[in-house]
A and B are shown apart, each in its own frame.
Chain A
Amino acid sequence: DIVMTQSPDSLAVSLGERATINCKSSRNVFYNSNKKNYLAWYQQKPGQPPKLLIYWASTRDSGVPDRFNGSGSGTDFTLTISSLQAEDVAVYYCQQYFSIPRTFGQGTKVEI
């Protein structure tokens, strides 16, 4: 199984400041044939299901604000929230979909 490790486990950021979450996979999730990284980011607010933010490591899903940015390749990835808003308080998960079983990181809690 591919192990996904996020850091930090939690972080507190002031409103309007940048939040950076890291995700490291135990194996390369870059697929050479289509030049894509098989990695997604999700946001989960309390009492809600997860919401897809980013797929292919850097493509925002429809309707996701442009303050959310995904980057990285291979085994090291980053989710950046450029200017934290109150509504961004949530737990964020990375997920690899390169191989079965799909695996998630342990989550990073973002607070104000």
Chain B
Amino acid sequence: EVQLVQSGAEVKKPGESLRISCKGSGYNFTNFWINWVRQMPGKGLEWMGRIDPSDSYTNYSPSSQGHVTISADKSISTAYLHWSSLRTSDTAMYYCGRRQAGGEAFDVWGQGTIVTVSS
């Protein structure tokens, strides 16, 4: 079964660092870009960026650029989203989504990781 499994919920303080993960299974991880999507409480979907796991090439949204880092370790089929200094406004659900084969839509999604940042 093709799936993306994300790491568990996190509670952090402002200024702390954090890395959440997204592990792919059931397919060749290096063949499919992984996207990260943010959903703030009660709000819509916002694309943050993506990574090509084969060579770790990345794209970011303007609002994410410089605030988060997307990386991947293809040896363990895992993509990461990293913050070096969290803000309270980073409180949200974060999803990873796989770019589909032969297309660009996101056909497989992780279950989500909820991140709470509060002093």
Please report A residues at the B interface, Cβ cutoff 8 Å. 1, 38, 40, 42, 44, 49-52, 55-56, 61, 91, 93, 95, 97, 100-107
Main SS at interface, chain B: strand
Residue of B44, B95, B97, B111 with most partner-chain A CB within 10 A: B44
Please report B residues at the A interface, Cβ cutoff 8 Å. 35, 37, 44-47, 50, 59-62, 95, 97, 100, 103-107, 109-112
For the complex, give the distance between the alpha carbons of A38 and B111 in Å. Answer: 25
Contact call A106/B107, Cβ cutoff below 8 A: no
For the complex, give the distance between the alpha carbons of A112 and B107 in Å. Answer: 27
Chain B residue numbers with a CB within 8 Å of A106 are: 44
Chain A residue numbers with a CB within 8 Å of B59 are: 100-101
Contact call B104/A1, Cβ cutoff below 8 A: no
Chain A residue numbers with a CB within 8 Å of B105 are: 40, 52, 55, 61, 95, 97
Chain B residue numbers with a CB within 8 Å of A51 are: 109
Q: Which of B50, B100, B111 contacts A49 (CB 8 A)?
A: B111
- Contact status of A52 and B107, CB under 8 A, knowing A1-B62, A100-B59: yes
